[in-house]
Structure 1
């Protein structure tokens, strides 16, 4: 087999392949064997009919077509390997010549990873916010802890911000009741903004059994995106009483004996959270610097696939109804044209990021060990609140294990750039990135730190 490659663009090639018929003997044998099981000839048991008789029955053209169809994928893969191509996506294959007994030729156009000229990462310099642990931040954490141990008591007064209310809701659109939007005895924390837009403002000032109408857009159901008149009725009002911040509270809410010890621990926790926030800012700024300064040609087909996926995700929950999508976008104050433009911009950034980090990983010879892959899977499972076995089964069924592997490898590649870069905070102090990221071989440590920080924020 002979193959040559034409460079159509920095991200696309055409592979020209010539396959002599003498190389197809095994392919013919497989086709004859398959047809022998399907074709019934008098005097021969299934699978035992001679190839010439089979060919006479089904026709030489049918045999040739099956041989070529079966041979194309393997010969394409062989040509890709022979020419050391880093292909992306599916090829467009065209049979260009078929001479029975001589050869067949075909072409395959496919996107490839572009050549990317990487900078000296030691020249990368970024500036980030310093780590600051203020008294206000510690007080906020202490307040959050006190709220967890607070108690609710009923009050006979008008609703205030921060109260807990029990409410009934109903809605109409164009004067018609919307049954699925009606509910009774719904608990709500005023000021949380977790239910309907405009609800918090409507209930403030109402007393028990008081009602008020307000207008808001429905976010679900057949009337999603439409303005509705919402009627809210307050059934009861409760306020939260907080325990005093003293040594007794510290002993009840923690393992510490004094409030001072508890506050010192909270200060340390806030510091860890700020460190993780700074680490995220470092990663983002280093990546942004690379994306701004490194030229990365983008494969159009790959970008289009990402845009199509974004559109599919957006319209899937709307029964693939373009009209509903238009209504939803209008309710959000945007247009389909803007949606398409934003989707394309996001897709281009995503593809550029992947190609760039893959190139960095290739240049550095970055590898991913089984322990690192397992650690990432366990971390992701915990993040989604799933058992590890269930999460692994889900990503395997979705054929996403390779994507997880690629994400770990890209994370390690970026950590290597961060390690080589110069990072300072806005006060001019140097930031020790090794303390946050470890070395390029230890990207998983950041996940562990992030998990600790998330836990600290919840406490």
Structure 2
């Protein structure tokens, strides 16, 4: 197989692949066998029709077509592997030349344009030290958590005064466009200052008492007239203020298993310290990735970036035409960081020769299903059916690579004291016992994906048999 490479962009190439006939022949033979299983030829049993008869009765063009459908993806993957390239998207395949008969010596030739991961060298992890700020818990942190706890036990009481930030108002709303009412809601409970409804509503309500009303101009954010300007009429039916319980021993007994406020405060501080350690671990992760990328010039694939930016704007309720320059710039910045982080972590996982097990993949997908309250088997099945299993395997590889990399470096706080992040990074998988266990059960990422897919397909088949 001859492979030539033309660089179209810093992260895009065109591979021209020419396949020798002896390398393409096995695909032609496999195509003949597959076609032979599906057709009836007088004098022959299905699956036992000689190749020349298939060529004669069905046509060599059909054989070549079947061979290309199965062979080109494999040959393309071999070409990537041989050139040590890592595709980041599906290729655009264009078949240029094919043999027209069994005796035709024309070689299969096709091109593949694809965006790839650029080449870059990761720094050596040995001896690497990374500083992470010390987690600090202040009295203010404790007081804020206690206030949140008090709010869970708070009550709303009616007040005879103008509404102010933090109050809850029962309001009636009506939207008017060109003198015609287009939408209305009654008895809506709204917290002043939350800014969770229409822009301008907080300002309009501030200072109004029960029975008073006002109008303001706003943009409708839902319904048939979403995005249109309207005159909003708002009437206050009632105003209620939140009344919080006193912070004392009685509250501690009601809100917790503790008998005194001091005991409750001590427990809250402990919770704050645990959260601070978690934030420090997150900071360590971010600092680790930043250290890997420090000094590297990593271009991002243009096509993938454009697609991801469009998706991000769409998820934020914006289209490419309606988004402002600032919103587009922010989306591009986020996408570029996400892509660079992904590429660096992919390269790290390969450098550390990280393996992804079937258990890793299923546990990862099951945890996501649990977060969304879905049945794990149904969720995994949907992932397989939608062709997203490869992405899931890749995410697992990135995560395992990052954890392995973080275990290989030293993190220190601002005082130079080494940090113990083992609670967040897990056990080192390089010990002999773990290595032996993984040798027995692990497979590379592609094999893990196939195993999970086979498992799901088998379960579906069994369910179908049981229903017949």
Q: TM-score, normalised by structure 1?
A: 0.77
SS at match of 1:72: helix
Contact in 1 for aligned 2:150/2:245 (Cα 8 Å): yes
The alpha-carbon deviation at position 150 of structure 1 amounts to 1.3
Alpha-carbon distance in structure 2 between the residues aligned to 1:63 and 1:377: 39
2:323 aligned with 1:282, yes or no?
no
Deviation string, structure 1 residues 171-203 (Cα, Å, up to 9, x no partner) = 123444322xx2111112222222222222221
Q: Specify every segment of 5 or more residues in structure 2 that has no aligned partner in the other structure, as ranges.
A: 430-468
Mark the CA change 1:67 to 1:271 in structure 2 (over 3 Å): closer, same or farther. closer
CA distance in 2, matches of 1:128, 1:68: 54
Paired residue secondary structure (1:131): coil
Does structure 1 conserve the Cα–Cα contact (< 8 Å) formed by 2:36 and 2:46? no
Residue 118 of structure 1 corresponds to 122
Correspondence 1:360 to 2:348 = yes
C-alpha separation between the residues in 1 aligned to 2:153 and 2:71?
70
- The answer for unaligned runs of 5 or more in structure 1 is 319-323, 443-459
Is the Cα contact below 8 Å between 1:18 and 1:103 reproduced in 2?
no
Whole-Å Cα distance in 2 between the matches of residues 261 and 163 of structure 1? 31
2:135 equivalent among 128, 131, 156: 131
Q: Deviations over 1:357-397 (max 9, x none)?
A: 11111111223445544554454344434454554444444
Return closer, same or farther for 1:198/1:383 CA change in 2, 3 Å cut-off. Answer: farther
Tell whether the 8 Å contact from 2:170 to 2:187 is kept in structure 1 after alignment. yes
The answer on 1:24 being equivalent to 2:48 is no
Equivalent position SS for 1:88: coil
Kindly state the Cα deviation for residue 23 of structure 1 after the two structures are TM-superposed: 4.9
Report the alpha carbon displacement of residue 326 of structure 1 after superposing the two structures with TM: 6.1
Equivalent-residue separation in structure 1 for 2:399 and 2:69 (angstroms): 40
| 8 Å Cα contact 2:97-2:108 kept in structure 1 | yes
Aligned residues of 1:419 and 1:433 also touching (Cα < 8 A): no
User: How big is the shift at 1:145?
Assistant: 0.9
Is 1:105 paired with 2:108? yes
Deviations 1:289-319 (A, max 9, x none): 3223234354x3xx4134224325644897x
Change (3 A) 1:135 1:49: closer
- In structure 2, the CA distance between the partners of 1:10 and 1:328, relative to structure 1 (3 Å rule), is closer
Confirm whether residue 267 of structure 1 aligns to residue 269 of structure 2: yes
Paired position in structure 1 for 2:306: 307
Offset at 1:268? 0.5
Farther-moved stretch of structure 1 (217-226 vs 120-129)? 120-129
Counterpart CA distance in 2 for 1:434 and 1:166 is 49
Identify the range of structure 1 (91-100 vs 209-218) with the bigger mean alpha-carbon deviation: 91-100
In the aligned structure 1, how far is the partner of 2:291 from the partner of 2:186? 52
Residue among 208, 211, 218 paired with 1:209:
211
Contact 1:122–1:422 at 8 Å: present in 2 too?
no
Q: Deviations over 1:39-77 (max 9, x none)?
A: 899x99999998777766766555555554554334434
Cα RMSD, aligned residues only: 3.7
Q: Report the equivalent of 1:72.
A: 72
CA contact (8 A) 1:128 1:282 kept: yes
Q: How many residues align?
A: 423
Structure 2 contact 31–66 (Cα < 8 Å) conserved: no
Task: Classify the secondary structure of the residue corresponding to 1:89.
Answer: coil
Structure 1 residue 237 displacement after superposition: 1.7
Given the superposition, is the C-alpha separation of residues 221 and 39 from structure 1 closer, same or farther in structure 2, using an over 3 Å criterion?
farther
SS at match of 1:266: helix
SS in 1 for 2:208: coil
Contact 1:39 1:54 in 2 (8 A): no
In 2: Cα distance, 1:279 partner to 1:153 partner: 42
Following superposition of structure 1 onto structure 2, how do residues 408-423 of structure 1 map, counting pairs within 5 Å? Answer: 408-423=396-411
- In structure 2, what is the equivalent of residue 446 of structure 1? none
Could you tell me which residue of structure 1 aligns to residue 158 of structure 2? 154
Q: 2:232 aligns with which of 230, 233, 238?
A: 230
Aligned-partner Cα distance in 1 for 2:410–2:65: 61
The verdict on how the C-alpha distance between 1:436 and 1:295 changes in structure 2, with shifts beyond 3 A counting, is: farther
The 5 A counterparts of 1:178-189 are 178-179=182-183, 182-189=184-191
Using the size of structure 2 for normalisation, the TM-score is 0.76
SS at match of 2:189: strand
Compared CA separation, residues 326 and 105, structure 1 to 2 (3 A): closer
Q: 1:432 to 1:229 in 2, by over 3 A?
A: same
Distance 1:122 1:54 in 2: 60
Kept in 2, the 8 Å contact 1:127–1:423? The answer is yes
